[in-house]
Amino acid sequence: MSETSKIEYEGALRTKAVHLGSGRDLITDAPVDNNGKGEAFSPTDLVATALGSCMLTVMGIKARSMGFDLEEATVSITKVMAAAPRRISEIKVHIRLKQNCDGPTRQVLEETARHCPVAKSLHPDLQQNLTFEWVTD
C-alpha cells in the first residue's frame, strides 16, 4: 500500500499537506476560536467537508451507472463543535440537486449518500444531519 500524503508543519499553527498521487497541496490553519489565524480550512473543517464531498462523489458514481449526470449538484456543510473534549459534535449536510428524477431514483441516490465511505468511517456519536433539496425548474 502506497502513502497517500505528506504533511509538514509550517509554524504558526499551519500545515501543508501534499497529495502524493497528484502533487497538489493544501494548507490548514487552526481556527480563530482555537488560537489560529483561520485563513484556511482547519483539520476539522476538512473532516466535515470530506463528508459532503464523499456523498456527492458516490451519488455521482451511482447517477452515472443509472445513465445520467449530477450536473450543478451542490453540498453545503455546517460543522458544529463541542467542548470538553473539543470535537466535532454534528455535521449538517444540505445537498441540492437539479435533476428531475422519479421517487425511486431519488431514494436510491439519497441512500447512496447516507452510506458513503466517509459517513461510515465517522464515529457514531458524531451526528450527521442530512437534507436533500430537489430543484426541478
Q: What's the pLDDT score for residue 100?
A: 87
What is the predicted pLDDT for the residue at 73? 96
pLDDT at 1: 85
d(CA 84, CA 37): 22
Using 50, 70 and 90 to split pLDDT, how confident is the model at 111?
very high
Distance from C-alpha of 29 to C-alpha of 16, rounded to nearest angstrom: 9
Contacts of 34 (CB under 8 A, 6+ apart): 42, 86
**Spans of all domains in the chain:** 5-34, 43-134
Q: How many residues does the chain have?
A: 137
Q: What is the pLDDT of residues 48-73, one digit of tens each?
A: 999 999 999 999 999 999 999 999 99
Q: Any idea which architecture 43-134 has in CATH?
A: 2-Layer Sandwich (3.30)
pLDDT single digits (tens) 10-48: 999 999 999 999 999 999 999 999 999 999 999 999 999
